[in-house]
Every structure is written in structure tokens, then in C-alpha cells.
């Protein structure tokens, strides 16, 4: 039983031959006729396409999950960067207004806050 299971496994991965190197498909085709060939072709086609379909679906799904994660992370980084720049600009304006409290011209604090909001 174990040897026959191993032979079936070898046939599924492409090496469908006897120990002597003879083709098992040809031998079984001679014994069972065209019905065997038809079932063999249908079976191998289903196995090959089903496996490739599953593998492709797994790869596509993993790629989509990775892209979704990267997109969320990029959005969070952009939001953090905008917030960081906004806070730094407010700090710079506050320092400038302390250094030059009576300066005229330019934007007033209320105008700046309105623009920054």
C-alpha cells in the first residue's frame, strides 16, 4: 500500500514511471483504453489548475494585505508630519514675535492662526 501511495504521489508531481523507467500512463492506457486517458487528462488538468489557482490566490491576497498596511502607514506618517511641521512653525512664529514684539508688517497672530487651522 505504501509503495502504491508513493507511486501515485510521484505521478501527481510529474514522474509517472516505473522503477525500470517505463511510463505508467502508457501501461495503464493499454490496459484500460481511452477511458483511462480521458480521466487522466481531466484529473491532471484539475489538479494542476486548482493548485496554481490556490497558490496565485494566496500570493495576491498577501500582496493586497501588505499594500493595504503600507497605505495606512503612509497616511499616518503624512498626518504626523503635517502636525509636526505645524507645531514647529507655530514655535518659530512665537519666538519671532517674542524677539520683535513691536514689529509691523507681515501677518498678525490671528491671521496666522486662521491660516494654520
Whole-model pTM?
0.44
Based on its alpha-carbon atoms, the radius of gyration of the chain, rounded to whole angstroms, reads 36
Segment 72-88, tens digit of pLDDT: 888 888 888 988 988 88
Rounded Cα–Cα distance for residues 21 and 62 (Å): 41
Segment 27-66, tens digit of pLDDT: 888 889 999 999 988 988 888 888 889 999 999 999 988 8
- Say if residue 9 is exposed, middle or buried (CB neighbours under 10 Å; 0-12, 13-18, 19+): exposed
Amino acid at each position: 500500500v505504501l509503495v502504491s501511495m508513493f507511486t501515485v504521489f510521484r505521478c501527481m508531481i510529474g514522474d509517472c514511471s516505473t522503477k525500470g523507467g517505463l511510463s505508467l500512463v502508457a501501461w495503464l492506457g493499454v490496459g484500460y483504453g481511452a477511458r483511462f486517458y480521458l480521466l487522466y487528462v481531466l484529473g491532471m488538468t484539475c489538479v494542476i489548475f486548482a493548485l496554481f489557482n490556490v497558490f496565485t490566490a494566496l500570493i495576491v491576497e498577501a500582496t493586497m494585505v501588505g499594500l493595504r498596511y503600507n497605505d495606512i502607514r503612509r497616511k499616518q506618517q503624512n498626518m504626523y508630519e503635517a502636525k509636526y511641521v505645524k507645531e514647529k512653525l507655530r514655535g518659530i512664529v512665537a519666538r519671532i514675535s517674542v524677539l520683535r514684539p513691536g514689529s509691523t508688517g507681515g501677518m498678525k497672530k490671528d491671521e496666522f492662526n486662521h491660516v494654520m487651522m
